[in-house]
Structures are given as C-alpha cells and as structure tokens.
Structure 1
Amino acid sequence: MGKAVVAAIAVGLVASLVQAQPGLPEKPGCSGPRHLSVDDVSAPEGDTPAREWTEFVFQVTSSGCGVPVVVPFEVSPIDSTDWLDLVPRIGAIRFGEGDLEPKRITVQVRPDNWAEHDEIFAVWIKPPAEHGAVIDKCVGAGKILNDDFGIVLSPKIGSRLHCSE
C-alpha cells in the first residue's frame, strides 16, 4: 500500500470514530435557552413646535442560544401618563437562529410646553410562542422627563412596573 492510501484510511477511521462518539456536536454551535431582556429609557419630553415627536428607543437584548423566536411586545402608559403623551402600540420583534444583535422598539412621545410631573410608560416583552426562550427582564420603564418650567399642582400618581398582568 502506498502512503496516500494509508493516510486516507487513517483519516476515514478518525472521522468515523469522532462521529460515533455520543455527546459530540455534529456542527459548531451552542445549546440551552435564549435569554431576553429589555432596557429602561429616560429622556426629556421635548417642546412644541420644535418637534412633532420625541423618540424613545428601547433595546431588547438576546444572549445564549436557542431557536428563532418572535417576541411580542406592548407599549402602554402607566401612572399619570395619558394617551396623548405617547403612541401606544403592540408589535413583535424577531430573532433568527444564532442572532444575538439587539433589536429596537421605538416609542413616539408627544412633546409639549406644559409643566407636569415626570411620567412613566412601559414596554413589555411577552413570552414567545416558541419554546427555548427565557425572559430575564420583561418590562422596560420609559421615563418622560419634564423639561418645562412652572408649578405643578396635580398630585403624582404612584406606579408599579412588573411582568404579571
């Protein structure tokens, strides 16, 4: 036998041994759940007529591994924030298999020229329908900072942000 034939047989034997060993991955990658989290955002409200909307950009981060997931979300006011101060919405973001890039949820806040308390709204990420994802932080607090001068006479209503509905 020639050296080339012996080398080919040796390579074939090593390859078959590696494939036959249980517990070795067939391809590089990782296992375990995908971990999801949404951040908090705080920014000044802005003034009219200088701008029509102030955008609050929340990031949803993903770590670990897992199946591709579609993550539903909801944006809604909390405490004294009324429906005129922001655009409530529902939607979804998508993470592909192996995709660990942060995804963005943009919330439009209406600026005004009235002195008021700082206001809070929430961005909730909901459990995906697909298995293999864990939500580590399900609610992002959006804090609209008052940037107008004047006396605020109305009381501040307390708020609580948590994952249960």
Structure 2
Amino acid sequence: MNDVKQMVETILCKLVGQSLVGAARAADMLTLQLGELRQRQTPLGRTVETGEWALHIQCAWRIGNAQGIYTGRSDYWQPPEAVESDAVIESWNPELGNLRDSRMSAWIAQRQTSPAKVQSVSSDCFAGIRLHFDDGYTLEVFSDSSSDEDWRLIAWDGDEHLVVIGGKPEW
C-alpha cells in the first residue's frame, strides 16, 4: 500500500463513527465540524462552538450520492438560484450568496436532528480523501495542486493536526 494513502487513512479512521455537526465557509474554503459539539476559546479570546474535529478544505471537493453531485467547490461561483440575465450575473457577488452556501445549508439542516455519521474513509496516493456517510452521501476531496494547501484535519484537543500541501501530508 502507498505510504501516503496508508498514513492519511490511519489518521482519517479516527473520524469513523463521528457525526457531521456543522459546515461553514471562510472565503471559498469549506470547513466541516465533526464529532460532539463543544465550546472552545479562540486565540482572540472568543468562545465558539465546534466539533471535536475540523476539516478545512481548500482544493476541489464534491458531495454526492448515487443520484449525482449535490454540491461542490465550483458552486461557490454560481448564484444561489437560476438567473436569466447576464446583467444580474455580472453584478452578482458570491460573498453575498451562492449556490454552494444554499445547498450546504440545506444539506446540514436536513440532518439537524439526526446528523450523518462517517461510515468509512479512504485515501489515494495524492492524499485525496473520501468520507462515506451512513445516509448514502460521500464527500470526495481532490488534492489538485503541486504546491498549495489542499486540506487540513484538526483535532481541537490538540492531539492531531494533519496538513496536506501539494498532495503530501505534513504534521
């Protein structure tokens, strides 16, 4: 087995059984919260509620099931609803609303009372990952750069912090 694949899967297997409890965005970066919600202090002293684990994704990704792609990174650059005028698209700002945000919000809200749990995980030789959820959906993350940060997994208790840059894991 490829060393990168094995190393990433060894860390990711800690997510199996964890609930997806939140999703947000910082610019075009997807942030997912997994595990039980807990409060923690930010470096600036603010109290925030996070999952036990955070997955920050800055490369290509998609969420889908057997019916197709539900949403993905490129939906950030699409208006939240269909528009028929080029003028609307030219003046539209993704920071004020986009298809990715509206679809992710709906996807998380549908699971509010019974969050999806990570059922299995897998990786490839470029540290691309798949998280398979118990509701039939899969998150696929594609490391797609030779030098930029692709994704990172953070355990808020301080035990783990894996960063993947250019398809290579760094500790």
Give the TM-score normalised by the residue count of structure 1. 0.22
Q: Higher Cα Rg: structure 1 or 2?
A: 1
- RCO comparison, higher one (Cα < 8 Å, 6+): 1
The structure with more helix, counted as a fraction of residues = 2
Give the TM-score normalised by the residue count of structure 2. 0.22
